[in-house]
Amino acid sequence: NAGVTQTPKFQVLKTGQSMTLQCAQDMNHNSMYWYRQDPGMGLRLIYYSASEGTTDKGEVPNGYNVSRLNKREFSLRLESAAPSQTSVYFCASRGGAGGQNIQYFGAGTRLSVL
């Protein structure tokens, strides 16, 4: 009963390095999301995927790219990390009986960019 699994849990990067955050869900949900969480700012949507094969920008997409590899997996890539991307990143998927809009979250990836 894994739900939403994110890897890695922690990561430290140097400015300019690249990395990919992985997310997988086993609930057969169509929609998946990437958020970042910063103190005092709540959760801000980076990118989302309404269904397999589609992706769209959220509120703060600059500096990020995403791939919806299949229905289960939705990855977030930082091509050239910047200190402003130091944050906690959460992946979520959405589903529920009758089309209910319930999001299920992973445990997060804590990223520091030096």
Partner 1 sequence: AQSVTQPDIHITVSEGASLELRCNYSYGATPYLFWYVQSPGQGLQLLLKYFSGDTLVQGIKGFEAEFKRSQSSFNLRKPSVHWSDAAEYFCAVGPPSGGYQKVTFGTGTKLQVIP
Contacts to partner 1 by CB under 8 A:
4, 31, 40-43, 45, 48, 50, 56, 58, 90, 92, 94, 98-108
Q: How many other β-carbons are positioned within 10 Å of the β-carbon of residue 50?
A: 14
- Residue 20 neighbours by CB under 8 Å, 6+ apart: 75, 76, 77, 78
Q: In the bound complex, what is the minimum distance in angstroms from residue 54's beta carbon to partner 1? A: 9
SS3 content of the chain, % helix, strand, coil (to 5): 5, 55, 40
Q: In the bound complex, what is the minimum distance in angstroms from residue 5's beta carbon to partner 1? A: 11
Q: Between 4 and 78, whose beta carbon lies closer to partner 1?
A: 4
What is the helix (H) or strand (E) element at residue 77, kind and residue range? strand 74-78
Q: Between 61 and 104, whose beta carbon lies closer to partner 1?
A: 104
Q: Between 65 and 105, whose beta carbon lies closer to partner 1?
A: 105
Q: In the bound complex, what is the minimum distance in angstroms from residue 11's beta carbon to partner 1? A: 15
Amino acid at site 70: N
d(CA 16, CA 43) in angstroms, rounded, equals 24
Q: In the bound complex, what is the minimum distance in angstroms from residue 43's beta carbon to partner 1? A: 4
Q: Between 53 and 99, whose beta carbon lies closer to partner 1?
A: 99
